[in-house]
Amino acid sequence: MGSRRPAQPPRRRSSEFLREVVAAVVPEQQRERYMPFTRELYSSFHRPPAPDFTRHTKLVVQKWFVRGLSGHLMWLIGQRLLGRMFPQPHAYNGS
């Protein structure tokens, strides 16, 4: 008797996932400008960034910052990407 793996939810295409991330934090008129950065940043994440990001990830951010993207918006995109890719368990505060 073989074992059965639990059904996995269908994976969403990465472009849909990335568009959702950008749409959540970037004003509508600037979204297409931030999509190439988001795709490149997403591809640079190979594992959770602990204790630090890889050199490649840092270079991606630097490249797009020099090209004129907002550091704040790039930070928000990175934060949202990491939160969706590597969810952290919520700590119970006892309340």
The tens-digit pLDDT sequence of the chain (95 residues) is 555 655 544 455 788 999 999 999 999 999 999 999 999 999 998 776 667 888 999 999 999 999 999 999 999 999 999 888 878 776 555 55
What's the pTM value of the predicted model, to 2 decimals? Answer: 0.77
Judged by DSSP in three states, 49 sits in: coil
Residue 65 lies in a domain: yes
pLDDT, position 84: 85
Element (H or E) spanning 32, and its range? helix 31-44
Quick check: is 93 in a domain?
A: no
Q: Is residue 95 part of a domain?
A: no
Sequence-distant contacts of 81-84: CB under 8 A, at least 24 apart: 81/21, 81/38, 81/41, 81/42, 81/45, 82/45, 82/48, 82/49, 84/17, 84/21
34 in any annotated domain: yes
* Domain extent for 37: 14-45+53-84
CA quadruple 26, 87, 41, 57: dihedral, nearest 10: 130
Residue 21 lies in a domain: yes
77 in a structural domain: yes
In a domain, 94, yes or no: no
For position 71, what pLDDT does the model report?
97
Please tell me the predicted confidence (pLDDT) of residue 14.
Answer: 80
Report the number of distinct structural domains present in the chain.
1
